[in-house]
Amino acid sequence: MNQQGDYGLWQCSKPCHYKTYDNEETVRKMVLAQGFAIAEDGTLTVPEGAALKMTVPSELVPHCPVCSEPMSMNLRADDTFVEDEGWHMASAAYADFLRRHEGLHVLFLEIGVGMNTPVIIKYPFWQMTAGNPRAVYACLNYDDAYCPAQIAERSICIGGDSGEVIRRLLQDIKKLE
């Protein structure tokens, strides 16, 4: 779900209109322009002897196609967050999922959610876990893996690099197969 936004999308920084834009192609160009090489799996490497520029050509700086103001990340950082059609569809699918799984054995898996806007994901997850005795709450977080005492019995809190934790979980699942 993308309740909190998506680093893969840009929006007008004002915003003058409610639309988001896929930024993968431009971000790739920015990365390459800085001197990185992109491997097939997406890993960034620095070719031998290459010096990183740490800047991008100004023509790659994104501007709004409507009002020409700079674009910004589609993130819920402040009240300029754009909730476009894609966001509303994802939001409706999420609400629908919750309705269909009320009272069922459900896992609320939270990955890397900080305390900037906990009312969007973290607090609802805690509340829904508290309200459903069959629910389980799992929290993967670099240095803030915790839960309220009230739901501790049905919670799994794992501190550490979420990417690394997920890689190891997948390895363990493979061993069980």
Binding site for Zn ion (CB under 5 A): 12, 16, 64, 66-67, 69
- The smaller minimum CB distance to Zn ion, of residues 78 and 177, is found at 78
- The smaller minimum CB distance to Zn ion, of residues 66 and 98, is found at 66
* Minimum CB distance to Zn ion, residue 82 (Å): 10
Q: How far apart are CA 43 and CA 20, in angstroms?
A: 25
Question: Is 81 exposed, middle or buried, given 0-12, 13-18 or 19+ CB atoms closer than 10 A?
Answer: middle
* Minimum CB distance to Zn ion, residue 77 (Å): 17
* Minimum CB distance to Zn ion, residue 25 (Å): 20
Helices (H), ranges, the chain: 24-33, 85-100, 122-131, 162-176
CA distances 100 to 103, 121, 126, 132, Å, are 9, 18, 18, 13
- The smaller minimum CB distance to Zn ion, of residues 5 and 117, is found at 5
Beta bridge pairs of residue 72: 11
- The smaller minimum CB distance to Zn ion, of residues 12 and 82, is found at 12
* Minimum CB distance to Zn ion, residue 69 (Å): 5
